[in-house]
Structure 1
């Protein structure tokens, strides 16, 4: 089958299949949004209280107590601090590397499937535009078949073309919005983990 024949088949099929593609993308995107929301909410903690408790334990020279306090938290900040305090006997350099490694692994875990959201947000409008192009081509074909007379079939094709564009935007906008929101949350958590990690390193350097 030549290229012209393949294009003819695509156009003949109408923009309906484009709608189904967009619906499928939206379902997957919503699933990812809900999963990431639940995951990020489950791993949040009161960082201010955590910092106060951490500094209190370190001021008393009790890193073991600090670790026990942090083990009660499921937050990223706690995991990073535990990694650093767990190798306090090996020196600040080793603790810093361990915390950096834990932070990177946590980042990868929190960013799970976010690239799909970014891809949907960036490309869904173009998928909708493809449906619009197909609808316009079919509208011209209907206009030609009607010898230039406006018919209900022509209006249906034009309406389908416009709906494809609108649907592409409706799929893209939430995906981009939640991608930006999740990225901001992840960045903030990693920044807080880094700031608390500096407190741990400062304690270790003072002790040594």
Structure 2
């Protein structure tokens, strides 16, 4: 049974593992580039926007909506959804913003699960290629006839080739893990910024509760 498996691995070879890792590497780079472009296109200058939002809210919902309109990031989209519901009161606004935040987080977390899974599993895929390669090397060695020196050179060469799969697996996994951690940090930062802007809106609504209807009419 063991010899049959070794022969099967020898016939299949480990080259397909390298091609699989290469394909995963291409997909990984594509996902990273897409996320970088997404975050760049959806950036929001929160520090600059905070005082402007408070001033705009004092002038009414329409002013706040106009202020947030140019931005496509989570922070602006969530607060804009809350501004549109100002006439319904703080509790309704909070619920709307929470629901919108959950939806926006799905946009921001796109491909993160792929990068996480790739970072965790690519080394094992590479290790599989190495094991297959080593099994094939020993299978070939049994069929060789010659002096000890030639056998040693054969097995060392085969093992070194097999180890390439492990190296490639690590080369694919490490950038994926780094990118995942970086993008995850960006998602957390965007969520925190969103909560900060949402707090400004809710505080404004609570301090101007009697005038909510008037603000809603202005918006």
The question of a shared fold, defined as TM-score above 0.5 by the shorter chain, is answered with yes
Worse overlay, 2-11 or 73-82: 2-11
TM-score using structure 1 length = 0.92
**1-structure distance, mates of 2:167, 2:160:** 11
* Rg larger for: 2
Task: Assess, with a 3 A threshold, how the Cα gap between structure 1 residues 14 and 53 changes in structure 2: closer, same or farther.
Answer: same
Task: Give the SS at the match of 2:151.
Answer: coil
List aligned pairs for 1:1-208, cutoff 5 A: 8-58=7-57, 60-146=58-144, 148=148, 149-150=150-151, 153-208=154-209
**2-structure distance, mates of 1:3, 1:89:** 74
CA contact (8 A) 1:15 1:135 kept: yes
- Residue 7 of structure 1 and its aligned partner are, at CA, apart by 6.3
- Residue 56 of structure 1 and its aligned partner are, at CA, apart by 1.5
Unaligned runs of 5+ in 1: none
**1-structure distance, mates of 2:6, 2:29:** 32
The alignment's C-alpha RMSD in Å is: 1.9
CA contact (8 A) 1:136 1:158 kept: yes
**2-structure distance, mates of 1:131, 1:200:** 56
Provide the aligned length of Structure 1 versus Structure 2: 206
- Residue 154 of structure 1 and its aligned partner are, at CA, apart by 2.8
CA contact (8 A) 1:15 1:160 kept: no
Bigger relative contact order (CA 8 A; separation at least 6): 2
